[in-house]
Structure 1
Amino acid sequence: MATNTGPGTLRPGGRTARVREAVLRAAGDALAEHGFTGLDLGDIARRADVGRTTVYRRWGTVTAVVADLLTDMAEQSLPRTETGSLLGDLRANARLVQRTLVDPRQGALFKAVIAAATSDPDTRRSLARFYRARLDEWSPCVTQAIERGELPADTDPAEVIRAVSAPLYYRLLATDEPLDASVADRAAEAAAAAARAGAYVRPAEAKPE
């Protein structure tokens, strides 16, 4: 049975922190190796060298472990880079995403989580929270570009950041084409050019009051 405190809401120290770290590392390894359908709390406990009772009591379900893993990944992500220009910032974002997706463990992990999110509502909500955190982290680079006069005033920051990542995830999930730094740079350049041209200006009815 899961505890009343939701996964990822505690900031424990000492042994509790070490147990959480070990369990999430084990869950990530298992997810990358076997996918979501292959996850089992008993196997995760074994990999983490943690008692089954501890894992069942702390998390309770596989989806709760995945939710906590995504929370931890969002917390551990590198902070936003500030270069002083829109293109520089978007290129830094794109290269960070690219490096993550081509990493043997991280790329496989994201594939598994995304696949699970298509059929499991809890995983879908957890994945949405993860990406919302990343959008919130990087959207200020668009806001700053608006303030510098690089972009139209009503540009939607989240849409610009999504436009950078979308081609990279498409290559990861739907093609066998290379996903290297040059692809990341092109994605950033295309998003920056489209943003400057007004492609991501909010429609009048969507503008905040």
Structure 2
Amino acid sequence: MDSKLADLRKSYERAELDETASQADPLQQFELWLQQALDAQLPEPNAMTVATVGPDGRPSTRVVLIKGCDARGIVWYTNYHSRKGRELAVNPFAALQFHWVELERVVRIEGRVEKTSDAESDAYFASRPLDSRLGAWASPQSEVIHGRAVLVANAAKAGVRFGLNPPRPPHWGGYRLVPDRWEFWQGRKSRLHDRLQYRLQDGQWVRERLAP
């Protein structure tokens, strides 16, 4: 297996990322690339990895779905009692990563994380399918359970309790990452990849090229 993995190779030759052709604002550059990923009909172009750090300094990652982006930041929704929620309560900083394999692109985003407003969380929760809303009540996310039957039973109980209109659980809602650093990676031939970094300095975005 090790030898087979070591022999895997791919030459990245689809596109390039030049300073003169990129946006001065990283959010605009991200929206451009995200739209291109959507237009290309990639599988789950909205999927992103979230990295957090626990109080013991141990990092952890998981994949979630972006649900909004604007000048305020990047938004996703989850259980506040989950491992990531507990870690963000102690260390409110995180890193996000999008990997659009077919386009040979990666976007990395770092920054401070805050909860979205109750109104935002309520509005998004109300837009979810009924099964997903009941699932938010059924799952004690990241906790050890005895089997899938626990989830099924919890969902059934939530259905009986709330019917067709389950409210948003108090332990469920949105997070917003407020970026202070972005990186856009475009695969290039001979491993001489393009990497543009944007970092916030005195309220302005500074764009820099990083060595691959």
Normalization by structure 2: what TM-score? 0.29
Q: Bigger relative contact order, structure 1 or 2, given CA contacts below 8 A and separation 6+?
A: 2
Q: Which has the higher helix share?
A: 1
